[in-house]
Structure 1
Amino acid sequence: MQATTQPPGSVYGGLSDLLRTFCQARQIAMPEKLQQIQNLERFDYNLWREILTEIDNQLQQPALGLEIARYVQLKHLGVLGYLAQSCVNLGEALQRYHDFHRLVYDGSPLIIQAESDYLSIRWDVPEIFTTQITNEIAIALMNQFLLHFLHIDDIELSEVSFVHTAPKNAHYYAQYFRCQVKFSQPFAQIKVPISLLGKPIRHADQTLQELLTHQAQALLAKLPNSSELDERLQQAILKGLQKHRCQIEEIATQLNMSIRKLQRHLQLQNTTFQQRVQALRLMLAQQYLKDQHLSLLDIALLLGYSEQSAFQRAFKHWTGQTPQNWRSTHRQ
């Protein structure tokens, strides 16, 4: 029996058309999962990650996420892209992007922070939910949005960061983004000079912006509720698993709330605390199993189990496979 998982959000359906466009341009076979989601309004983020990984495995091309982003069109970002394009200046466009970013991806907050002379733009996605290609395409899409869709003259980035280690073709990233690119950083982000916020957008249209804002608000209201509490809960459980302190009493204390209030919040989402913990354990287990240097005992201990056998029973209950079989299948 599969574990009840809490997928980290959904993705706007226009991005499936982006991948279809890329596959056609490169004359490669569309993954079956990609064919199945064509014309859907939204689809699960986990599916997005799986499809990108399948394309990556098929092409085995360095910096693939950057190449896919070259094919993005404004329609692939939906109403959010057109709304930002109708703004008066870059600062206003980034504010609208912040307000409605969930229309493109609703699984994590978009964080825009002023730091010294630049703005830092990043998504607060737990590392276990990302891959090199998902980070590449997220940053590259924002790059295309800023440099090509807003019609702003003379805009340059300050810096781009990635969490993965520097590849052999690191110079290609610098050429692509035309700025300093850092690797092995705490998170993926893009930095823009604050001095550019007043840069005017040539296609600004206040009337159109008001109409599109109403449309975006209506679409946002249809999305499942996602609160800051859910994001804090997820982070607290992940940290608790690492420290072998993942009882509901300890997590509730970290969140500054009572156990009863936390349980009531989870009931409204038709889940329980244990289901949340097991879902994250499963996702962590699958990430750890990809590392051939970790033994099953190592993984069991990392997940908070005192015995390897307990982890093996739990994993088979979640997936229907033993950890050994899952690891073998993934390696193949």
Structure 2
Amino acid sequence: MQQFKDYTGSVYGGLGHLLYTYSQAKGLVISEKLEQVQNLERFDFSLLRDLLTDMQQHIHMPALGLDIAEHVQPKHLGIIAYIALSCNTLGEALQRYYDFHRLVYDGSALQVNMLGDYLAIGWGNMPFHITTQVTHELAIALMLQFMKYFMNCEDIQVHEVHFVHPAPKNTVLYEQYFRCRVRFSQPVAQIILPVHELAKSFCQGDQTLQNLLMQQAQSLLDKLPHSTQLDQRLQQAILIGIQKNQYQIEPISQQLNMSVRQLQRHLQQQGTTYQQRMQEVRHLLAEQYLKDPHLSLQEIALLLSYSEQSAFQRAFKQWTGFTPQQWRQQQYL
């Protein structure tokens, strides 16, 4: 692929869906450009910038990026959201965000720096003329809004927020939103957090993940003639375990306060094995993820804890008789 001088990288397709959702909520006319990105796995950052600029010209709203971020849902951020939902603390979630941030936006490396008792997270390599105030608003607000969405009632305390573009007319809106000092015309767009915030635990992270995924996995329990509370707990443990790549029978049985032998005996009485139950969950999760047109096969393989995409493809063909790509294409016929 040819690289142009001002190539700005690509963004996750779910951000296009977020803009669509926001436009509908605000009663805006859906442009042809916005329609065209709805089923793309990724699209150029420059197109996201242009969509935001067009939106700004039509709606004339100050701090537009902050308002759009209020509508974010896990599906708009894709794999990072699914992974973050299995984390226990803010620090763990931020570490995973750092590991996989290029899946949301691959044009600029995420910079994480320690500043004494503070942690600065920002984007410093984007040329000034390629970005806008709204693109930086959206980037920072999306990260903060998503983290706050899954925290306990006690919100994340932000120390400062920096933007590279000049201050707009009404800076009070920004200070009210972030509830901290907001600086403009800074060298780097970044959010600065006290280090002690990293130890904060997420609000029922496992429960949130369960609610997202159990909609599909519940059908497995419905097939069991005598579903028990243990089966439901096992289902949840496998779901969470797959997200964390800790789905082997040993850690799962420990979560259930059982020995491996006790769990195997329980499943034997139902005419199944742990391996079969785990693969059934993987199968249903795979179909759930494949219905999201923005997730690539590589990302889905990672979400299902496969070390290689080819291993996921072989397993899926054994389950359904189709390759993942063939199955996905059938959904849009």
Do they fold alike, i.e. is TM over 0.5? yes
Unaligned runs of 5+ in 2: 207-236, 246-285, 287-294, 303-333
Q: Judging changes above 3 Å, is the alpha-carbon distance between structure 1 residues 68 and 21 closer, same or farther for their aligned structure 2 residues?
A: same
Aligned equivalents of 1:77, 1:209: Cα separation in 2: 19
What secondary structure, in the 3-state scheme, does the structure 2 residue paired with 1:95 have? helix
Q: Which has the higher contact order (CA 8 A, sep 6+)?
A: 1
AA in 1 matched with 2:242 = L
Q: Structure 1, unaligned stretches of length 5 or more?
A: 223-332
Question: What CA deviation, in whole Å up to 9, does each residue of 1:63-86 have, x standing for no partner?
Answer: 111111111112111121121121
1:155 equivalenced with 2:186 (yes/no): no
CA change 1:53–1:195 in 2 (3 A) is same
Deviations 1:101-152 (A, max 9, x none): 1111111111111111111011232222211110111111112022113447
In structure 2, the CA distance between the partners of 1:149 and 1:202, relative to structure 1 (3 Å rule), is closer
Q: Judging changes above 3 Å, is the alpha-carbon distance between structure 1 residues 212 and 150 closer, same or farther for their aligned structure 2 residues?
A: farther
| Structure 1 residue 3: Cα displacement | 9.9
Counterpart amino acid of 1:136? E
Q: How does 1:1-332 map to 2 (within 5 A)?
A: 4=4, 7-124=7-124, 125-151=126-152, 153-205=154-206, 208=239, 211-212=242-243, 218-219=298-299
- Matched position secondary structure for 1:50: helix
Alpha carbons of structure 1 residues 112 and 220: separation in structure 2 relative to 1, 3 Å:
farther
Aligned twin of 1:321: none
Instruction: Specify the SS of the correspondent of 2:199.
Output: coil
Separation in structure 2 between the aligned mates of residue 219 and residue 3 of structure 1, nearest angstrom? 24
User: Alpha-carbon deviation of 1:173?
Assistant: 0.6
* Change over 3 Å in CA distance of 1:78–1:150 after alignment to 2: farther
Q: 1:3 to 1:191 in 2, by over 3 A?
A: closer
Secondary structure at the counterpart of residue 66 of structure 1: helix
Distance 1:20 1:197 in 2: 33
RMSD between aligned alpha carbons?
2.6
Distance in 1 between the 2:205 and 2:148 partners? Answer: 16
Aligned to 1:46, what secondary structure does the other structure show? helix
Is the 2:150–2:205 Cα contact (8 Å) retained in structure 1? Answer: no
Relative distance call for 1:50 and 1:207 in structure 2 (3 A) is same
Answer yes or no: is the 8 Å Cα contact 1:132–1:164 preserved in 2: yes
Please tell me the residue identity of whatever aligns with 1:87: C
How many pairs are equivalent?
221
Displacement of 1:188 in angstroms is 1.0
Structure 2 counterpart SS, 1:197: helix
Q: Is the 8 Å Cα contact of residues 84 and 150 (structure 1) preserved in structure 2? A: no
Report if aligned partners of 1:10, 1:44 keep a CA contact under 8 Å in 2: yes
SS in 2 for 1:75: helix
SS of residue matched to 1:82: helix
Task: Report the CA distance between 1:209 and its aligned residue.
Answer: 5.7
Percent identity reads 52
Contact 1:121 1:189 survives alignment (8 Å): yes
How far, CA to CA, are the matches of 1:174 and 1:165 in structure 2?
15
Alpha-carbon distance in structure 1 between the residues aligned to 2:149 and 2:72: 10
Counterpart CA distance in 2 for 1:127 and 1:208 is: 43
The answer to whether the 8 Å contact 1:91/1:198 transfers is yes
TM-score normalized with structure 2 length: 0.61
Assess if the C-alpha contact under 8 Å between 1:65 and 1:134 holds in 2.
yes
